[in-house]
Structure 1
Amino acid sequence: MKILGIAATGMQAQQVNVDVIANNIANANTTGYKAGRATFADLIYQTLEREGTANADGTVRPVGVDVGLGVRATGVVRLNTQGGLIQTDNQLDIAIDGDGYFIITRPDGSNAYSRAGNLALSPEGEIVTLEGNLIEPAMVLPNDVQEIEITQDGLVLAYTTDAIEPAEIGQLTLATFINDAGLKPIGNNLMLETAASGEPMVGNPGDEAVGILRQGYLEGSNVDPIKQMTDLITAQRSYELGSKALKAADEMMQTANQIR
């Protein structure tokens, strides 16, 4: 009786689905978070009767008897749609409006990529993430800076105490990927390049296929709470059906054992 294994694979798949949905709901207010969606595929089939075989009377069987062996999770697809822009009026909050990722230097010197633009200044005046990681290209602001302006095309300008005109500090760049769904999330709003994502293509904000920057805004999560709750109910019902299938299989086996 294959129903035990088949039902178990369905319950395992729905558990993955519920985990993904729960993570989406938990990150509904995470800056720059992109919702994930679990995807599934049916497992191999056991052929009891082959399609197209000849019957004893000379006719051809139009369909076969192929019994599936269940389901498996094939991946979690990240939905890279634009999140809503939230106005903060903080001069170091920057939202990416369009495609692209901030380039972040990790403590080990490697690069990671992020959509979260809630930035800050280090004690040395460097522009860093809230975890203290440097934004690439690295730039240092003067000690007497009074105001920071970041243009849509990524130019960073600093207004100091006595200067009439702002000083040009540097140029922010963004990275884009052929398949940004292939980036590997590692937490702290960071993602890593993989063989699936392809190599980063670095450009200035506003270049072709690169988004622009919005100073004083943050990109909100693209999670739709109503849809997530609907998906959660559907996954819960599917899990319950799997448990009922296991219970039915147990009752069928008990009935078979009682036959004398």
Structure 2
Amino acid sequence: MLKAFYSSATGMRAQELLIDNTANNLANVNTTGFKKKHINFADLIYDTSKAPGAAAANGQLKPIGLQIGSGVRAVGTTSIFSQGSPQETGIDTHMAIEGDGFFKVTKDDLPAYTRDGSFVTNEQGQIVNSDGYLLDPQVAIPVDATDISISSSGVISYRIAGVSTTGPSIQLARFANPAGLQNLGSNLYAETAASGPETLGIPGTAGFGQLRQRFVEGSNVEVVSELVSLITAQRAYEVNSRAIRAGDEMLSSASDLVR
């Protein structure tokens, strides 16, 4: 009887984590380049009274066994890197990635990666993100440049004093397992052993996504799906609490038998 208490408690904790994750997804529904997270669960160890395939009294093998589980645990969170909807901003240095890849920036002298293409230029004309981190490789646009254009392959061109000039190109980074990247906050990711090393390349080639100037990529959070997940988690939490209440009532009934 007490096993039901602990099993239901793990279920309630799992649903709390699911609600926390869903709330975070909904909170970032308007965050540029945000990728929704999915929680993976696994059942806990089983109390095996009779193993499947054990020998029966008649010499036959038992087709089933007697196993009672101990509840559930959260295994991890998976980032879903599906494409977010493009949102037009009209700003020359804003870029959206259509396909695979990440922008690489330098954060505290270390590489970081992002799908947030809302870049601007600093006082030196260098392209930086909203926190001031430099795009890597560094790209600078002269402050007196006009008619700035960024091609789908990342080539920057502009005009200075009426003369057309082609500037440096923008590169993207890819990973064998992007779900293994570590979330740093501020729309940034860090490379890990699980993600594998970065592969740099030209946008639009070798599986890299193309760039779309004057757009940014919106969040891929689907509000309706998250609300359904929220309702499901709430109902599952209630059912687990009822299982604890039912176990308590059964223990109470058993204790009343001796009175």
Answer whether TM exceeds 0.5 for this pair: yes
Letter in 2 for 1:164: V
Letter in 1 for 2:252: Q
- Gaps (5+ residues) in structure 1? none
The superposition leaves residues 211-242 of structure 1 with CA deviations (integer Å, 9 ceiling, x where unpaired) of: 11000111111111111111110111111111
Q: Tell me, yes or no, if structure 1 residue 239 matches structure 2 residue 249.
A: no
The superposition leaves residues 123-164 of structure 1 with CA deviations (integer Å, 9 ceiling, x where unpaired) of: 12110000000001112221312232111110112222x132
The superposition leaves residues 79-110 of structure 1 with CA deviations (integer Å, 9 ceiling, x where unpaired) of: 1111111111111110001110000100x210
2:253 match: 255
1:30 to 1:56, Cα distance in 2 relative to 1, 3 A:
same
1:136 match: 136
1:150 match: 150
2:33 match: 32
Percent of aligned pairs with the same residue? 41
Find the aligned partners of 1:96 and 1:178 in 2 and give their Cα distance. Answer: 17
> 1:136-215, aligned counterparts within 5 Å?
136-160=136-160, 162-165=161-164, 167-215=165-213
2:118 match: 118
Shift of 1:181: 0.9
Shift of 1:75: 1.2
Report the 3-state secondary structure (helix = DSSP H, G, I; strand = E; otherwise coil) of the residue aligned with 2:96: strand
Find the aligned partners of 1:141 and 1:52 in 2 and give their Cα distance. Answer: 72
Find the aligned partners of 2:225 and 2:119 in 1 and give their Cα distance. Answer: 30
Find the aligned partners of 2:188 and 2:59 in 1 and give their Cα distance. Answer: 64
Aligned length: 257
Residues 38 and 77 of structure 2 are in contact (CA less than 8 Å); yes or no, is this contact kept in structure 1? yes
Find the aligned partners of 1:51 and 1:87 in 2 and give their Cα distance. Answer: 60
Shift of 1:10: 0.6
Q: Which is further off, 143-152 or 209-218?
A: 143-152
Letter in 2 for 1:91: D
Find the aligned partners of 2:122 and 2:255 in 1 and give their Cα distance. Answer: 72
Letter in 1 for 2:111: N
Find the aligned partners of 1:11 and 1:209 in 2 and give their Cα distance. Answer: 42
Find the aligned partners of 2:202 and 2:56 in 1 and give their Cα distance. Answer: 69
Residues 35 and 80 of structure 2 are in contact (CA less than 8 Å); yes or no, is this contact kept in structure 1? yes
Q: Which is further off, 196-205 or 50-59?
A: 50-59
Letter in 2 for 1:208: A
The superposition leaves residues 33-76 of structure 1 with CA deviations (integer Å, 9 ceiling, x where unpaired) of: 11111111111101112223344455543321100011111111
Letter in 1 for 2:151: T
Find the aligned partners of 1:207 and 1:112 in 2 and give their Cα distance. Answer: 22
Report the 3-state secondary structure (helix = DSSP H, G, I; strand = E; otherwise coil) of the residue aligned with 1:234: helix
Q: Tell me, yes or no, if structure 1 residue 88 matches structure 2 residue 89.
A: yes
The superposition leaves residues 10-40 of structure 1 with CA deviations (integer Å, 9 ceiling, x where unpaired) of: 1111111111111111111111111111111
Q: Tell me, yes or no, if structure 1 residue 103 matches structure 2 residue 128.
A: no
Residues 154 and 202 of structure 2 are in contact (CA less than 8 Å); yes or no, is this contact kept in structure 1? yes
Find the aligned partners of 1:179 and 1:55 in 2 and give their Cα distance. Answer: 47
Letter in 1 for 2:11: G
Find the aligned partners of 1:193 and 1:90 in 2 and give their Cα distance. Answer: 29
Q: CA RMSD in A?
A: 1.3
Letter in 2 for 1:16: L
Letter in 2 for 1:224: E
TM-score norm. by structure 2 comes to 0.95
The superposition leaves residues 166-196 of structure 1 with CA deviations (integer Å, 9 ceiling, x where unpaired) of: x222110000011111111111000010111
Residues 139 and 170 of structure 2 are in contact (CA less than 8 Å); yes or no, is this contact kept in structure 1? no
- Gaps (5+ residues) in structure 2? none
